[in-house]
Chain A
Amino acid sequence: MSKSVSELVDLSRSVRREILKMTTAAGSGHPGGSLSSADLVTSLYFSEMNHSPDDPDDPERDKFVLSKGHACPLLYAVLAELGYFPKEELSSLRKTGSMLQGHPDKSKTPGVESSTGSLGQGLSVACGIALGDRLSGRESRTYCLLGCGESQEGQVWEAAMSAAHYKLGNLCAIVDNNNLQIDGKTCEVMNIEPVADKWRAFGWNVLEIDGHNFDEILKAFEQARGCKGEPTVLVAKTVKGKGVSFMENVCDYHGKVLTGEELERALEELK
């Protein structure tokens, strides 16, 4: 699966629409951080990763861990678009009996590699997958998406240390650096900058990109693949709420969904 940039533009717009529709239907959820990561994750699943919805357990598949688990509306929209489960399921998000939990549940949702939601844990899991796959002689790669606020968790840096120590060239982390978290600007809540320097100091190959520029995203993934001796992190400058004018850079949309009327306006913008 390798979609062109113009196809990715269309796909990410459609993914954004689904994110907003399902969170409004659910009446709760996390649209802001789903929108900021949408271009990164759409690129991963539609152009970069080697995977197949027809054989989701293929050991040779590339694996993705959504460490910022609250952005699962994004993951669900992408997985449904790919056919991991029927698109109709999206409207059941967060409802009793749904396969789509408020945070990812490996046992309930096809295509979810690991249950996440308690921040800071996903990169460790991704390290373990990468170690195991390398030990098994597989060529597969592991990707992990982290939030900027999430980077305040100490476990992230334990994992960063160990990935470099074990020279996990088959691991690629992505930091969705939108500079907003629940309580405000990340730089004011608890500054994580200079975040790229931190990853460099931990021994990672660091690529700083615009997280909404598909050419830069795809090129970065390609460079990451070529870097065999150390793990790569994409520090992606992003905009929370990206794609909907009145949601962009608005902190409240971290965990607030659109009203019916706002949804209509947003979908109009995302036509």
Chain B
Amino acid sequence: MSEEIATRQAYGEALAELGERNQDVVALDADLSKSTKSAIFAAKFPERFFEMGVAEANMIGTAAGLAISGKIPFASSFAVFCTDRVFDQVRVSVAYNNLNVNICGSHAGLATGEDGATHQATEDIALMRVLPNMSVVCPADSTEAKSAVFASAERSGPVYIRTCRLKTPVLFDSSHEFSFGKGNIVKEGTDVSLAACGIMLSKALEAAELLKKENISARVINLPSIKPLDESIVLKAASETQGIVSCEDHSVIGGLGSAIAEALCEKNPGRLARVGLRNVFGESGNPEELYKKFSMDVNSIYNSAKKLLQNGNDEQ
């Protein structure tokens, strides 16, 4: 993997491209447009960009009103400020109204690093996932992020798009398309499955390489559409391999791991190990060091898979 692009960069570029194609697309930001990259759209379409200042609640409500007037708004900020901080505004003005409002939270998870726990959204997926009408997307690379922006504009209800501060490997070529409710197998495998979203997908791929050295065949599954979830790819993995390790830069409560657990428990119980933050806040530091500290690095995924397989064998 030579090329690295941040998904937030892809978001800004996709938005600007979308603005070219569709005059109804508008964007809002709350004094973080240079960070979320909505500034790329703003530079191209200043008349369709609304700087809302440090007032996120009003930004969300304004986005709802723009949608009522027929526009297709994309409102962005750090993930903590456009989900956690404004949960009720998103709930009532956006989700209850079932409007085509697209909310993009950048700087999600431990990847936010040095700014510390206040700025690391580690419960945003859980919050957005619980809202009726809301779809939740966490793209794994820049190709997928672009495609997700285009798909979100087309979707009639609200969408939460989660992007990442860090540059991450470009995993997919331009033929890769994001679809709501669809996951894809990035690497075939038969012993264990690693199901990941966002920045964790490339870590899952690395963990699969480590497992391969021990003759363990790991299937790596990309699940960018956390809601609606691709249940069939999850259930298939549960029945065709000995278990699933969910990998997310988020709390293990309410996020991708929970979504997988819900699908498994209701449809066809299978073994699951969850890699993510375990009921704690993050902290300041270099992201890679934080992933290690909180047992969310490549080795932790590898260890979780091994443990899952060993426990599975114990039970047999």
B54 nearest in chain A by CB position:
A158
B57 nearest in chain A by CB position:
A155
Is A37 at the interface (CB under 8 A from chain B)?
A: no
Which residues B73-132 have CB closer than 8 A to chain A?
A: 73, 88-89, 91-93, 96-98
Roughly how many angstroms separate A137 CA and B71 CA in the complex, as a whole number? 13
The answer to whether B68 and A124 touch across the interface, beta carbons within 8 angstroms, is no
**Given A107-B97, A114-B97, A162-B55: A128 and B67 interface contact (C-beta under 8 Å):** yes
Q: Tell me which residues across on chain A come within 8 A of B61, comparing CB atoms.
A: 121-125, 127-128, 155, 159
Q: Tell me which residues across on chain A come within 8 A of B71, comparing CB atoms.
A: 132, 135-136
Is B42 at the interface (CB under 8 A from chain A)?
A: no
**Given A131-B50, A132-B71, A135-B26: A158 and B65 interface contact (C-beta under 8 Å):** no
Given contacts A129-B68, A132-B26, A161-B55, 8 further A-B contacts (CB under 8 A): A106-B97, A107-B96, A114-B65, A115-B97, A118-B91, A124-B64, A136-B71, A158-B55
Nearest Cβ on chain B to A161's Cβ, whole angstroms: 7
Nearest Cβ on chain A to B99's Cβ, whole angstroms: 9
Q: Tell me which residues across on chain A come within 8 A of B48, comparing CB atoms.
A: 135
A128 contact from B55, B57, B65, B92, Cβ within 8 A: B65
The answer to whether A132 and B60 touch across the interface, beta carbons within 8 angstroms, is no
Roughly how many angstroms separate A25 CA and B184 CA in the complex, as a whole number? 54
Roughly how many angstroms separate A88 CA and B87 CA in the complex, as a whole number? 36
Q: Tell me which residues across on chain A come within 8 A of B92, comparing CB atoms.
A: 115-118, 121
Is B66 at the interface (CB under 8 A from chain A)?
A: yes
A127 contact from B47, B53, B65, B98, Cβ within 8 A: B65
Interface of A is mostly: helix
Roughly how many angstroms separate A128 CA and B69 CA in the complex, as a whole number? 8
The answer to whether A129 and B66 touch across the interface, beta carbons within 8 angstroms, is yes
Q: Tell me which residues across on chain A come within 8 A of B70, comparing CB atoms.
A: 59, 132, 136
The answer to whether A121 and B93 touch across the interface, beta carbons within 8 angstroms, is yes
A116 nearest in chain B by CB position:
B92
B96 nearest in chain A by CB position:
A115
Q: Mark A89-129, 1 if CB is under 8 A from B, else 0.
A: 00000000000000001110000011111101111111111
Which of A123, A124, A129, A161 gathers the greatest number of chain B CB atoms within 10 Å? A124
Nearest Cβ on chain B to A245's Cβ, whole angstroms: 36
B-side residues, CB < 8 A to A, are 26, 47-48, 50, 52-53, 55, 57-71, 73, 88-89, 91-93, 96-98
Q: Tell me which residues across on chain A come within 8 A of B57, comparing CB atoms.
A: 120-121, 124, 154-155, 158
A-side residues, CB < 8 A to B, are 59, 63, 65, 105-107, 113-118, 120-133, 135-136, 142, 154-155, 158-159, 161-162, 165-166
A159 nearest in chain B by CB position:
B58
Which of A125, A131, A166 gathers the greatest number of chain B CB atoms within 10 Å? A125
Q: Tell me which residues across on chain A come within 8 A of B64, comparing CB atoms.
A: 114, 124-125, 128
Roughly how many angstroms separate A120 CA and B50 CA in the complex, as a whole number? 21
Q: List 12 interface pairs A-B (beta carbons < 8 Å), by A numbering.
A: A59-B69, A63-B68, A107-B96, A114-B97, A128-B64, A128-B69, A129-B69, A132-B67, A132-B69, A158-B55, A158-B58, A162-B53
Q: Tell me which residues across on chain A come within 8 A of B65, comparing CB atoms.
A: 65, 114, 124-132, 142
B65 nearest in chain A by CB position:
A128
Which of A105, A127, A128, A131 gathers the greatest number of chain B CB atoms within 10 Å? A128
